[in-house]
Amino acid sequence: MENGLILGIESSCDETSAAVVKEGREVLSNIIASQVDWHRKFGGVVPEIASRKHVELINPVIEEALEEAGISFSDLSAVAVTYGPGLVGGLLVGIAAAKSIAYANQIPFIPINHIEGHIYSNFIAHKNLEPPLVCLTVSGGHTDLLYFKELGDYQILGRTRDDAAGEAFDKIAKVLGLGYPGGPIIDDLAEKGDSTAIDFPRPLLKKDNYDFSFSGLKTSVLNYINNQKQRGKEIEEANLAASFQQAVVDILTTKIIKAVKEKRVDNVILAGGVASNNQLRAELEAKLAKLNVGLYFPPLKLCTDNAAMISSVGYYHYQQGIKGEYDLNAEPNLRLG
Ligand code: KG4
Ligand code: ZN
């Protein structure tokens, strides 16, 4: 039906989720069944368990999403599903469900990039937010700077040439024996440290492009730790955390500001785990405020994996007539492109 109701399905990791969203921004239901209790005792997501749980949960979750939205399959305009990146077993469960629903109801089946979904959480949360805008999506697996001309249409300005920013946080915390994931731990620790204590490099900071590189910074921090240990010197963990984090924040904010000025946008959005970094948010907000530019990020509830964000992207693809073929496969290593 031409009413802009999109059923979204998300099963790329350890949440089985289905949602109904109207015209990209109005969430009628967003059911999320977390499997975290089944994986916790193994210390991480076990792909085989995840696939089995997705098979068990997918139909009840979809039924609940329709029920809560007060609609039936025949009311849907299209069905959108995450086809990557993620765990192949889980992705295939969602894709099979979406194809069946689309075929049985003769509606379009729309494959969605999970990372794009995370970005669109911002448009669900902030209803009046409109492009053009600049978006930084930064997590444990990627660091991409994008320019959104309009909803459903973006251009990649730059991305990391090696490690993602989150990977550097995780690796440094691991080497210091602080735990996983490293981001929130370093974030807390840095508050107690002096960010000027150690002068770490800021790769590509002054280069006239939007590319990032975090591998050199990470290595430099690891070398510093090794040197201190070899000399029998104590490592001031808070100072190290603060100095490292300052380097990351300087790199990310510099490139964002450069993009804001060049593209002349009024707003910036953030997505991905590293976007919850307190110092990044505070420094960026202050610098953007001086330029009269707004900063937005999704609230916590929409930061974790959920199907509403998938429905939202799906609507804009639907409007543009973009849909999938029935031989579409899962793409575990899909990138933004
Ligand atoms: O988007 P996300 O939850 O998952 C994927 O990587 O797909 O991002 C997780 C990453 C991890 O590397 C984690 O250490 C980092 O985000 N992270 C943070 C913070 N919270 C999470 N990094 C810096 N500061 C934080 N507060
Ligand atoms: Zn995710």
Chain mean pLDDT for the chain: 95
The neighbouring-strand residues paired with 137 are 144, 271
Sign of CA dihedral 11, 12, 13, 18: negative
From the CB of 166, is ligand 1 less than 6 Å away?
yes
Indicate the residue type of 109. F
Q: Which of 13, 7, 97 is nearest to 304 (CA)?
A: 13
22 — pLDDT class (breaks 50, 70, 90): very high
From the CB of 86, is ligand 1 less than 6 Å away?
no
Which listed ligand is nearest to 218 at the C-alpha? 1
Give the Å distance between the CA of 158 and the centre of ligand 1.
Answer: 19
Indicate whether 41 pLDDT > 90. no
Assign 60 to helix, strand or coil.
helix
List, for residues 68-97, the tens digit of each pLDDT value.
999 999 999 999 999 999 999 999 999 999
Assign 80 to helix, strand or coil.
strand
From the CB of 304, is ligand 1 less than 6 Å away?
no
Instruction: Tell me which of 139, 185, 278 to substitute to probe ligand 1's pocket, judged by most ligand atoms within 8 Å of the beta carbon.
Output: 139
> Is 131-300 in the same CATH topology as 5-119+303-319?
yes
List, for residues 55-71, the tens digit of each pLDDT value.
999 999 999 999 999 99
CATH number 3.30.420.40 is the correct assignment for the domain at 5-119+303-319: yes
Sign of CA dihedral 263, 169, 171, 232: positive
| CB contact at 8 A, 135 and 155 | no
From the CB of 273, is ligand 1 less than 6 Å away?
yes
Contacts of 303 (CB under 8 A, 6+ apart): 118, 121, 273, 276, 297
List, for residues 116-172, the tens digit of each pLDDT value.
999 999 999 999 999 999 999 999 888 999 999 999 899 999 999 999 999 999 999
Residue 285 CA, chain-centre distance (Å), reads 19
Q: Among 3.40.50.1110, 2.40.50.180, 3.30.420.40, 3.40.190.10, name the CATH number for the domain at 131-300.
A: 3.30.420.40
Indicate whether 303 pLDDT > 90. no
Indicate whether 43 pLDDT > 80. no
Give the Å distance between the CA of 180 and the centre of ligand 1.
Answer: 10
Tokens standing for residue 292: 């009269």
Q: Name the residue ranges covered by the structural domains of the chain.
A: 5-119+303-319, 131-300
d(CA 138, CA 147): 14
d(CA 96, CA 74): 19
Tokens standing for residue 192: 């107690």
